[in-house]
Amino acid sequence: MYLGIDLGTSGAKVLVIDDAQEMQAEATARVPDLARSAPLSEQDPAAWIAAVEEALGQIAGDHPGLLAQVRGVGLSGHMHGAVLLDADDRVLRPCIMWNDGRSSRECSELSEAADFEGIGGNLVMAGFTAPKLAWVARHEPEIFARTARVLLPKDYLRLWLTGEHVAEMSDAAGTLWLDVAARRWSPELLHATGLTEAQMPRLVEGTEVSGTLRPEICARWGFAPGTVVAGGAGDNAAAACGMGMVEDGAFLSLGTSGVVFAPSDQFRPNTRQGVHAFCHAVPGRWHQMGVILAAASCLDWLAGILGRPVPEMLALAEGHEGPSPVRFLPYLTGVRTPHNDPTAQASLHGMTSRTGAPDLVLAVLEGVGFALADCLDALREGGTTITEAYAVGGGSRSQHWLQIIADICGITLLIPERGEYGAAFGAARLGQAAVLGYDPARFGKPAVSRRVSPDAARHEAYATAHAEWRALYRRG
């Protein structure tokens, strides 16, 4: 048996798979946010531990003896968060989260202080870890002075599980302190933030052993002594491992945010268009990501305005063929790929007295599709051309939306036969790899239940609409 733990923004998920990677048990527990006003976003690391304890307790209670059969544990978690520890591993302040936007001034300063784009392979954005530490150094100097170690969220869980300070490549790449091509910490980028390698955790690959469960953990939940813990992965890389996107392939995620993910055999940055270029969680592989900050959340936003549930809104649009006469820029919380503009705003264009709810719903569906097409174009410019991709996330349950995205992007979308291929499943696969050794064959792709192919005529019509949509964006 192998255990996967995924620390999400709103909760922790734990699942157990057997040697054939069939799921045997799962449990979830909520993680509360701390009350902070935007652009601040923080969580208490103690709440992560409490959530994992609750989920493990559920599995131990519902499946007596199951955890004793676990041979390897894999970890996944939300990226970029800053957990600051003192010399005795005590948490110095709440974790500054991935969606915290307080460090825009520090982003500009760091961009000029060192070659973050060339070495780190990514633009300096407020979401990353490095500018968060620069903010702490400026505004909380006494905390910064006491910081002996900086850990990412899932790696704080690892410390609790194993007593080891360890990170792995995919998550470390999201700090902006990693030399992404060389897969090691960069003294130059650390120095620009006032830090040293001594304050960083030891690095391993996601498929390697990072430590073993502490005796106290084993005794409490019945794990076998010496159960190994894999390096694991950041959330998107873990999801890719769950989907089998380790050597090739691609997936498109329609969750709260939108992601286009593709692995590669080399480091391929494209900072000019805000592409994320990170190490993958498996050895000798990297990946590119195009990210939009609002995808399915745009539907939730419109549902609140129209006072209709999302399924009812989707039904309104199904009888109307696009392009909509209305254009929607889906930048409710700014935009990463391709503009890297945290101040970008959402907007609706082209409304008249004849505009109805179906036009608005269709415009939102298309606006997200156009933004994803921009991500695909940015990845193509960075050397990665995608012709088909698995579709995952809550939004992928809408056949109509998938057809719109396929028509806009000109790619075929593959719908998995079953839904459990998320980050916790990928983490469990990495736990298996730590025990048995890395073999790409153990990271198979899901069977395809159906394919959504683009319609040539609609793709041509959407190409014109996409050009009109792009012209609406104006920075600042």
| 83 backbone dihedrals φ, ψ, rounded to 5° | -105, 115
**Where is 7: in which H helix or E strand?**
strand 2-7
Tokens of 318: 């199904």
Q: Which long-range contacts (CB under 8 A, 24 or more apart) does 348-353 make?
A: 349/472, 350/325, 350/326, 351/326, 352/325
Spatial CA neighbour of 309 closest among 355, 357, 359: 357
Q: How many helices (H) and strands (E) does the chain have?
A: 16, 24
Write down the residue that tokens 């970890």 correspond to.
Answer: 75
From CA 264, how far away is CA 254, in angstroms rounded?
A: 22
From CA 40, how far away is CA 48, in angstroms rounded?
A: 19
From CA 210, how far away is CA 201, in angstroms rounded?
A: 11
CA dist 334 to 91, 128, 408, Å? 31, 15, 22
At position 288, the amino acid (one-letter code) is Q
Spatial CA neighbour of 213 closest among 79, 85, 45, 67: 67
Query: Catalytic pick from 100, 155, 171, 235?
Result: 235
Spatial CA neighbour of 401 closest among 445, 434, 366, 447: 366
From CA 221, how far away is CA 68, in angstroms rounded?
A: 8
407 catalytically annotated? no
280: left (phi over 0), alpha (psi -120 to 50) or beta: beta
Spatial CA neighbour of 389 closest among 374, 405, 400, 401: 405
CA dist 415 to 140, 392, 405, 449, Å? 48, 8, 13, 6
From CA 126, how far away is CA 3, in angstroms rounded?
A: 33
**Angle at CA of residue 125, ends 123 and 129, nearest 5°:** 110
User: CB under 8 Å to 329, separation ≥6 — which residues?
Assistant: 344, 345, 346, 347, 349, 367, 469, 472, 473
Spatial CA neighbour of 157 closest among 231, 86, 72: 231
| Residues with catalytic roles | 235
